[in-house]
Structure 1
């Protein structure tokens, strides 16, 4: 029997708090789960710094990856006898679902911004490079690693396969919304996934939804909207991200200045020099980063020492609302006042912005064109979701943006009560509130 068709003697089952069980019968999937690169995802949190806001948010990228695999597995069981579905693509879909987040680094997005990294590029590099994952995929066929990389990269020729992993209603989103809601303890991310899976249909180059399932999809869209503003963009989580980002910026700046660290930042040197090899990257995880932060909390440099201490011990910055279009004059005055009291505004006065577009339809020529969700009507025609749903139409194409100004309120409050700088800073910040 060919390796790609090989089944385990007995089905392996993972207990899962979201899907109850994750089922594995394919030898290929079982072998991929056991690789070093996949197991590394246990040491990368799914929600980055959200654990400092929601104490239950300790789940990992590995949890999520198994969940996405399980959703795709269930979808393909439903697709098995349907027209428009090529059963030969089954294993490819399962592997792409399992491996889609393989390249995420510690505290993913903050790390990427500071060190100019791209987790999607590292996902591709792990799949195609000299790795245990690549060796498993090559046993399926010589070109199989490239096919898996193409699906994740959204360049695979069969767009129907791509849409299962990456679209506005895909297995990735369906898992992370429910999983993140479960581990943060909020109710926003819940929707009737079983209903959605039952009404999903393969149709030419995309997955569509039977018109009778429209209300379940509305619920899914709204749960995504709520999760972004109540969990993913939570201002306390963003405060932790601001401090994390500034720690990395400070450590990099010190390294470039020739600063003598008390402990050589060995794991960071390739990042500081922007020469990160695949081997360097795979060795990075959040345990490594947090170890350095613990060490840096005792550094001689007062800024690095303070920021690292704040992150490790959850002494986060406070925040006020901020409108960059109306309040730049106040910000410039605050900038100078922070310098006057000995606080470097580059590290201690930070504007953070978040924006989200909960649903949009295809707009040719625009940046980030979005393939819409299509309903399969009783007359066998397709209809774009927002044309049928008043609820979805109400939020379609509407981008919401939020700006916050972060600062160390504890330091300001420690200034002498008769300090003119203290009075003025608090007046300006109070005005923002």
Structure 2
């Protein structure tokens, strides 16, 4: 029997808190799960610093990847025998679903922003590079690894396959919304996935939803909206992200000056600091390694690095107020000057963070990154874009909500010896609205 068709003697199952069980019958999938590059995902948290706000959010990219695989497996099962579904694409879909997050680094998006990385690019590098994952995929057939990489890059010729893991209602989003809701303990992310899976239908270039399932999809869209603003963009989580980001910036700056001697050479970070990251170096850096350095950097000679690491490790987060620098440029410039004069480096201790999301946005031609919109399959066979048929979705479609916060260390301000500067800084900051203590807020 060819490797691509080989089945395990007995089906393997993973007990899962969201889907109850994750079922594995294909030898290829079982081997991919055992690959070192996939096992590494156990050491990458799904939600970065969110556990500083919701203490249960300790789940990993490994959990999520298995969940996405399981949803796609169930979708494919429902597609069997339907027009437009080619069962020859089954294994490709399962592999792409399982491996779609393979390239995430420690603390994911914060890490990417500092070092200008793209986890999707690294996912493709791992799949196509000299890795165990690549070796397994090429055993399926020559060029199979490239097909998987193309699906993840959204360039694969069969757009129906791509839409399963990258559209407005894909397996990726359906898993992380439910999984993140479960582990954070909130109720916002729950929706009737069973109903959505039952009403999914394959057409030539995408998955569509039977019109009778529209209300389940509306519930999904609103769940996504609530999760973004109540969990993913939570200001306390962002406070921890701000400190994390500034630690990495400071360490990079100290390395680049060539005048600072780290007590422990930052070996694992050097290629990231220089912008020349080899694949094997990327794979060696996980959250355990990063936390090890942060723990030791609490004893470094640089006061800023030492302070930021101590704050991050012990959850002494920055306070925050509502502040829009686009509308308050004069206040921003004055604050920047006052912080500098007071000896508090504003580059590290005065940070504006903005978050925005489009809860549902239909396709706009020319926007390459835009995910496919959700289409309803009407009883007469016509397709209708969701927001044109749903009043609920239409009311939020294309509407961009943006939130601005200004983060700063209140304890450093309170210890300022210059009362005049302290009073003026407080007047500007506290004049913007209620001061929020991120260490007490949940």
TMscore range, shorter length: over 0.9
For 1:22-61, what aligned pairs fall within 5 Å after superposition? Answer: 22-61=22-61
For residues 380 and 278 of structure 2, the distance between their equivalents in structure 1, rounded to whole angstroms, comes to 54
| Partner in structure 2 of residue 371 of structure 1 | 372
For residues 99 and 263 of structure 1, the distance between their equivalents in structure 2, rounded to whole angstroms, comes to 34
For residues 163 and 420 of structure 2, the distance between their equivalents in structure 1, rounded to whole angstroms, comes to 59
| Partner in structure 1 of residue 149 of structure 2 | 149
Conservation of the 8 A alpha-carbon contact between 2:166 and 2:371: no
Per-residue CA shift, 1:184-242, capped at 9, x if unaligned? Answer: 00000000000000000001100000000000000000000000000000000101110
- Give the CA RMSD over aligned residues: 0.9
* Displacement after TM superposition at 1:414 (Å): 2.4
For 1:117-128, what aligned pairs fall within 5 Å after superposition? Answer: 117-128=117-128
Number of matched pairs: 432
For residues 365 and 171 of structure 1, the distance between their equivalents in structure 2, rounded to whole angstroms, comes to 25
For residues 370 and 350 of structure 2, the distance between their equivalents in structure 1, rounded to whole angstroms, comes to 35
| Partner in structure 2 of residue 268 of structure 1 | 269
* Displacement after TM superposition at 1:135 (Å): 0.7
Conservation of the 8 A alpha-carbon contact between 1:78 and 1:198: yes
Q: Structure 1 residue 65 and structure 2 residue 65: aligned? A: yes
For residues 186 and 81 of structure 2, the distance between their equivalents in structure 1, rounded to whole angstroms, comes to 37
Per-residue CA shift, 1:140-194, capped at 9, x if unaligned? Answer: 0111000000000000000000000100000000000000000000000000000
| Partner in structure 2 of residue 215 of structure 1 | 215
* Displacement after TM superposition at 1:365 (Å): 3.0
| Partner in structure 2 of residue 311 of structure 1 | 312
| Partner in structure 1 of residue 437 of structure 2 | none
For residues 366 and 132 of structure 1, the distance between their equivalents in structure 2, rounded to whole angstroms, comes to 35
* Displacement after TM superposition at 1:415 (Å): 2.8
* Displacement after TM superposition at 1:363 (Å): 1.9
Return 5+ residue gaps in structure 2 as ranges: 434-442
Alignment partner of 2:49: what SS? helix
Per-residue CA shift, 1:263-289, capped at 9, x if unaligned? Answer: 110100111111100000000100000
For residues 326 and 89 of structure 1, the distance between their equivalents in structure 2, rounded to whole angstroms, comes to 52
Q: Which of 190-199 and 407-416 deviates more? A: 407-416
**TM-score, normalised by the number of residues in structure 1:** 0.99
For residues 84 and 158 of structure 2, the distance between their equivalents in structure 1, rounded to whole angstroms, comes to 11
| Partner in structure 1 of residue 194 of structure 2 | 194
Conservation of the 8 A alpha-carbon contact between 1:218 and 1:392: yes
| Partner in structure 1 of residue 282 of structure 2 | 281
Q: Structure 1 residue 410 and structure 2 residue 411: aligned? A: yes
For residues 412 and 131 of structure 2, the distance between their equivalents in structure 1, rounded to whole angstroms, comes to 48
Alignment partner of 1:62: what SS? helix
For residues 388 and 93 of structure 1, the distance between their equivalents in structure 2, rounded to whole angstroms, comes to 30
For residues 109 and 367 of structure 2, the distance between their equivalents in structure 1, rounded to whole angstroms, comes to 24
For residues 139 and 363 of structure 1, the distance between their equivalents in structure 2, rounded to whole angstroms, comes to 39
Conservation of the 8 A alpha-carbon contact between 2:163 and 2:372: no
Conservation of the 8 A alpha-carbon contact between 1:363 and 1:370: no
* Displacement after TM superposition at 1:366 (Å): 4.4
| Partner in structure 2 of residue 229 of structure 1 | 229
For residues 272 and 325 of structure 1, the distance between their equivalents in structure 2, rounded to whole angstroms, comes to 31
**TM-score, normalised by the number of residues in structure 2:** 0.97
| Partner in structure 2 of residue 340 of structure 1 | 341
Q: Which of 141-150 and 318-327 deviates more? A: 318-327
Alignment partner of 1:96: what SS? helix
CA 1:125–1:366 in structure 2 vs 1: closer, same or farther (change >3 Å)? closer
